[in-house]
Chains A and B, each alone.
Chain A
Amino acid sequence: MVREALLRGAGLAAAALLGFGAATESPAHAASPDQPTVQTAPASTAYDGSSVIDGPSSCPRPEAVWRELVTLVPPERLEARLRAVTRGKTPLVEIVDLGVPYRILAAGQLREYRDESRDCAYRARIAAVFVALAIDPAELPAQLPTQPAMPPPSAPPVVPALPPPVDDMPPPRARLDLGATAVGGLGPEDRVGQVGAELRWSAGRRRLGPEVGVTALLPVDNTVGGVRLRQWRLPIDAGLRARIAGPRFERYGELGVSAALLSERALDLATSRSQTGIELGLRLAVGVHASRGRLAPFAALSGELVPAPPAIFALPAGTVGHTPLFWIGATAGASLSFL
């Protein structure tokens, strides 16, 4: 449905383009309103498709793009523009089929579009419109509203409006970040470093959206108040992510609450036992990920404040210290987007 609407809307652009060509390159025709000219078939030019459009694309094929292009731009103008733009160098256009995305390089301009259905005819039309705009960027928009004398063509070629390129795609509906993480705990009696993996889900296309994450950290040995401990920690957090989108990168910040499952086991005491507790804290993070591509690299820094860290108790000393008051972490990995 969307495509049909776009196609209908683009018909006017095609008519305008044809009219523009007639008005500028064939003034005799334009001066004869009683003899309306209906261009239903492209005329040949001094250029052929293979010399202008090339590339290892099977969908769309270069010759299909050429066939569409010559229906959009009058032959004389197309020849003149090609001559001016190519300056003897060919090919002018290169088409690359990347599967769902396809890339068009025309007159030094690069665009990438996505087409999940792989409709090659549709792709050819899209590519032709982009090429037409690339080789003659100023004329088409300027002529659109200024063709009152042009009689409506009986069967104007259908020119689709350009879909948004990949760069202009709406932000993903959700993201799943998976990365390696390293955290350091700081406190008056305990300093510890741990490594592990972090999984984080965030949602929403707006600037603010929910996020939730879990981090699995490998056990580590450390000493608190002279007592050697094996420490294991599983933090879970939830909060809000604020995004600042950019053409190449999206920056974000997160604020939320965290709850960490904490297990401590003494290593050297005469009688040792494992104890499990929960740390409650506030979490703040900043990060960045690439804007392009469904799978993009990301990196983030985080800080977590635990206002009341659990005390470590061992006889005969009693309370020998507390687990860290503050945790800092760095994470890097891949971010998978869901449209």
Chain B
Amino acid sequence: MMPARAVPATVLLLAALAAGCSQLDVGSDLLWTARFETGDFTEWTGVAGGDAQAFPMPPNTIAVANGQAHTGRYAAALTITAGSDGTQENAVLSRAGGLPPSAYYSAWYYLPYSVSVGTFWVIFKFRMRTDANDPSTAGELYDMDLATLPSGEMTLELYDHQTAADLPLDVSNPIVPVEEWFQLEAFYRAASDDTGHLTYWLNGRQVVDIAGAPTSPTSWVEWDACSVGEDLTPQMATLYVDDCAVSRSRVGPAGRLTE
């Protein structure tokens, strides 16, 4: 017979176990993340094909700042000074190669003020290689740009380098918020046949979906979270980037990169 004192102790133990195990963490679909909580860019530069650079520098800079953050304390601050002289200015966080042919790519952005875009301002980019093993065959694919509406509000444009034209969005002129974090997420399947696929979501809302067409000559993928611009007003523009992720499943605005 169980001693009388052991009964409540057993019940308490079971209750504690049940409460402690009320959440079963079964794993993760995240392939890679960059939350900048290390205070540097090692999450980018510490992996093969990863890079974080601004060029020419000066005037362009990249830094990990603690003034703005989507989660945690730190975010990347990408600052370019893009005048109307026809020069492309660049601040780029990149993952070139080592990525699956099919994945979700997510990053959070913060615009501290509205910027008038003269020529272009790329913030989310896919690149390709015609020969996966030959870096010299790299080329451009799809740019997700910020643009300015006649109302002065910011919006998105998708530029296709293969056709040298903007692709029409399913949602006309989606508004990109200023002075608040927004999420841009893409599903990209690099394929030379009709299994190619490209979808974008802005704050969880699908804005474009291109399916059933070739997207890349090889399965090699480069993804950049960047600030690449020309002819911006004001010329100096800072874009904050945080909580970047490559995932096998959709991240979404409510997605978590850590437990």
- Interface positions of A (Cβ within 8 A of B): 226-227, 229, 259, 262, 264-266, 269-280, 308, 310-319, 323
- Whether the Cβ atoms of A276 and B21 lie closer than 8 Å is yes
- Whether the Cβ atoms of A270 and B21 lie closer than 8 Å is no
11 examples of A-B residue contacts, CB within 8 angstroms: A227-B26, A265-B26, A273-B27, A277-B21, A278-B18, A278-B21, A310-B18, A310-B22, A314-B28, A315-B29, A316-B247
* B195 to A: closest C-beta gap in Å: 20
C-beta contact mask, B152-176 vs A, less than 8 Å → 1, else 0?
0000000000000000000000000
- Interface positions of B (Cβ within 8 A of A): 14-15, 17-18, 21-31, 245, 247-252, 254-259
- Whether the Cβ atoms of B30 and A316 lie closer than 8 Å is yes
Given A264-B24, A271-B28, check contact A315 B14 (CB 8 Å). Answer: no
- How long is the Cα–Cα vector from A75 to B242 in the complex, in angstroms? 111
- How long is the Cα–Cα vector from A310 to B22 in the complex, in angstroms? 4
A273, A278, A323: the one contacting B25 at CB < 8 Å is: A273
* A75 to B: closest C-beta gap in Å: 61
* B259 to A: closest C-beta gap in Å: 7
- Whether the Cβ atoms of A266 and B255 lie closer than 8 Å is no
Shortest beta-carbon contacts, A-B, top 10: A277-B21, A316-B255, A315-B28, A275-B24, A266-B26, A269-B27, A272-B27, A266-B27, A316-B251, A278-B17
- Whether the Cβ atoms of A270 and B27 lie closer than 8 Å is yes
* B21 to A: closest C-beta gap in Å: 3
A265, A273, A276, A314: the one contacting B29 at CB < 8 Å is: A314
Given A310-B24, A315-B259, A316-B256, check contact A269 B18 (CB 8 Å). Answer: no
- Whether the Cβ atoms of A280 and B14 lie closer than 8 Å is yes
- Whether the Cβ atoms of B27 and A314 lie closer than 8 Å is yes
Extra inter-chain contacts (5) besides given A272-B27, A277-B17, CB under 8 Å: A269-B27, A270-B29, A273-B26, A310-B23, A312-B26
Query: Quick one: which of B14, B18, B252 has the most chain A CB within 10 A?
Result: B18
Q: Which residues of B contact A317 (CB under 8 A)?
A: 29, 249-250, 252, 254-256
- Whether the Cβ atoms of A280 and B15 lie closer than 8 Å is yes
- Whether the Cβ atoms of A311 and B22 lie closer than 8 Å is yes
* B184 to A: closest C-beta gap in Å: 15
Given A316-B245, A316-B256, A317-B249, check contact A264 B18 (CB 8 Å). Answer: no
- How long is the Cα–Cα vector from A174 to B63 in the complex, in angstroms? 76
Given A270-B248, A279-B18, A316-B247, check contact A311 B24 (CB 8 Å). Answer: yes
- Whether the Cβ atoms of B26 and A314 lie closer than 8 Å is yes
Query: Quick one: which of B15, B17, B31 has the most chain A CB within 10 A?
Result: B17
Q: Which residues of B contact A315 (CB under 8 A)?
A: 27-30, 255-259
Q: Which residues of B contact A310 (CB under 8 A)?
A: 18, 21-24
Q: Which residues of A contact B245 (CB under 8 A)?
A: 316
Q: Which residues of B contact A272 (CB under 8 A)?
A: 26-27
* A185 to B: closest C-beta gap in Å: 15
- How long is the Cα–Cα vector from A272 to B27 in the complex, in angstroms? 4
- How long is the Cα–Cα vector from A272 to B249 in the complex, in angstroms? 14
- Whether the Cβ atoms of A275 and B26 lie closer than 8 Å is yes
- How long is the Cα–Cα vector from A314 to B252 in the complex, in angstroms? 14
- Whether the Cβ atoms of A313 and B14 lie closer than 8 Å is no
- How long is the Cα–Cα vector from A183 to B155 in the complex, in angstroms? 54
- How long is the Cα–Cα vector from A279 to B247 in the complex, in angstroms? 31
Q: Which residues of A contact B27 (CB under 8 A)?
A: 266, 269-273, 314-315
- Whether the Cβ atoms of A229 and B256 lie closer than 8 Å is no
- Whether the Cβ atoms of B25 and A313 lie closer than 8 Å is yes
Given A311-B23, A313-B25, check contact A278 B14 (CB 8 Å). Answer: yes
- How long is the Cα–Cα vector from A135 to B139 in the complex, in angstroms? 109
- How long is the Cα–Cα vector from A318 to B249 in the complex, in angstroms? 12
- Whether the Cβ atoms of B25 and A275 lie closer than 8 Å is yes
- How long is the Cα–Cα vector from A53 to B29 in the complex, in angstroms? 82
Q: Which residues of A contact B255 (CB under 8 A)?
A: 315-318
- Whether the Cβ atoms of B25 and A314 lie closer than 8 Å is yes
* Residue of A with least CB distance to B11: A257
* Residue of B with least CB distance to A224: B26
Q: Which residues of B contact A323 (CB under 8 A)?
A: 24
- How long is the Cα–Cα vector from A227 to B15 in the complex, in angstroms? 27
* B246 to A: closest C-beta gap in Å: 10
* A238 to B: closest C-beta gap in Å: 10
